Structures are given as C-alpha cells and as structure tokens.
Amino acid sequence: MHSNCRGASAINWTLICGDENAGLTVFWPDSGLDTGPILLQKSTKVAENDTVTSIYTRFLYPAGIEAMVEAVELIAAGKAPRIPQPEEGASYEPHITTKPILAQLDWNKNQSQMHNFIRGNDAIPGAWVILNGKKVMLFSSKRYKKKSLPRNAKEIAVMEAPGGKVYVHPYGLLLPTSDGKFVSSLLSRSVYSPKRSTHKMTKILFQCLQLFFDSSHLTSYLTSSSPFLLEEELFH
C-alpha cells in the first residue's frame, strides 16, 4: 500500500517486487513526499500476469474515481479520518520512466524476478534487454511452465544470456533465467489489439519472427503494415 513503494512509479515497483496486493491511497498532504495522514485506502489482489496497464484499467482507474467521490463526501460530512502512515517498512522507489536504465533486464534474475520485472514495466516504460548488441523491448511476460520447448522454437546464440542462447517461437521469445527456467515474452504489445483474433495474432508474430532468419526481406516487411518494430539483423 502507500507507505510501501512511495513515489511516482509505485505500481511499477509493486509488481517488480512481487507484492501480492496493490492499492491506492487518498491522503492529506503534509511537508513530506507521500507521507501525509491517510484518509482512505482501496486494494486489490495482484494476478499472476497482471501488468501496470491491466492493474490501471481493472482497478486503479475505476477505484480511483470511487475513492475521490468517497473522500469528498467524508470531508463534506466532517467524518474524514487522519490516520498516521506507518513508517516501518516504508520505502521510496525511483521514477522508472525518467531513468530508462532502470528498465534494463538483468540476466541474473530467476524466473519469478524476471517475470515480475518485465510485467512491472509493461507497458510504460517497457522493459528492455540487449540481444547481440541490439536493444529489444519486452512485453506480456509469462512464466514458461512446460518441460519441453515449443515445437517450432529456434535457438539463437546470445552471449549475454544464461547458457548463451535464447529461443524464438510462435509467441515471441523464451528468455533463460538464472535458475534454469524460462520466461516467455512478446516483442511488441500491439499484438494484443482486441480487433485481431488469436489466430491472426499468432500468424503475424510468427511471420515476423521468421524474418530474423532472412534479413533480405526484413526491410520490405517493416515498411508494410507490420505492427512490430524489430531491427534488421537483430540476431545475426
């Protein structure tokens, strides 16, 4: 809640830290930064694959409107409380969007940490990683739970990654983690457009990923209607 992960990127850090609950606080301002007495709070459970965007859409936006109405009514009725914030466990976290380096993926993370990091930056500012000298944006993280690799997965040498390789598959990338597992991530959040069927999304993404292996066609593909912003010779 409010005393934990204070600052402008509170929801990002809530997910990155793997918290089980997210929330919002209406508080009385004082001379400190996010330290004023609490007027009211609302909270929600964090789902396994929640992102900053999904929590905002599902909870923060509607609950925030309700909280503001309730706060005004309590103040008008003279019943608004002033509950001191607990300082124990309080923390200030940096504003990620103003420091892009904070969104860079660290290959030393285990599966849970990597999953939380990617979704905690999704969609703003967007987690990123360097693959063979190229910056790649990562979205829509999921823990990969199957024992075997996808049938169509293609191995790509990436020196920085654990084991020296990542895998391209029909749904994006499989990123190796420090505990010998994988996190699945898309290279573009636009694949989740509600106007596209699952079949079309998969087909478009797979076609795009296949182009990594034929760079002569990549430039012409990117100048057409592709929703993916992928760089030429990324894995070469």
| Topology at the third CATH level for domain 5-92 | Rossmann fold (3.40.50)
In sequence order, which residues have a C-beta less than 8 Å from that of residue 36 and are 6 or more positions away? 27, 28, 29, 30, 85
What pLDDT is stored for residue 142 in this prediction?
95
What pLDDT is stored for residue 231 in this prediction?
31
Q: In the CATH hierarchy, which top-level class contains the domain 100-187?
A: alpha beta
Task: Give start-end residues of each CATH 3.40.50.170 domain in the chain.
Answer: 5-92
* Burial class of residue 16, CB neighbours in 10 A (0-12, 13-18, 19+): buried
Q: How many CB atoms lie within 10 A of CB 98?
A: 10
Output the CA torsion sign for 212, 199, 147, 106: positive
Query: How many Å apart are CA 103 and CA 78, to the nearest integer?
Result: 44
pLDDT tens sequence for the chain (236 residues) = 545 677 888 999 999 999 999 999 999 999 888 889 999 999 999 999 999 999 999 999 999 999 999 999 999 999 999 999 888 777 788 899 899 899 999 999 999 999 999 999 998 899 999 888 888 899 999 999 998 988 888 898 998 999 999 998 776 899 999 999 999 998 765 433 444 444 444 444 444 444 444 443 333 333 333 333 333 333 33
Task: Give start-end residues of each CATH 3.10.25.10 domain in the chain.
Answer: 100-187
What pLDDT is stored for residue 131 in this prediction?
85
CB 218 within 8 A of CB 169: no
* pTM confidence score: 0.77
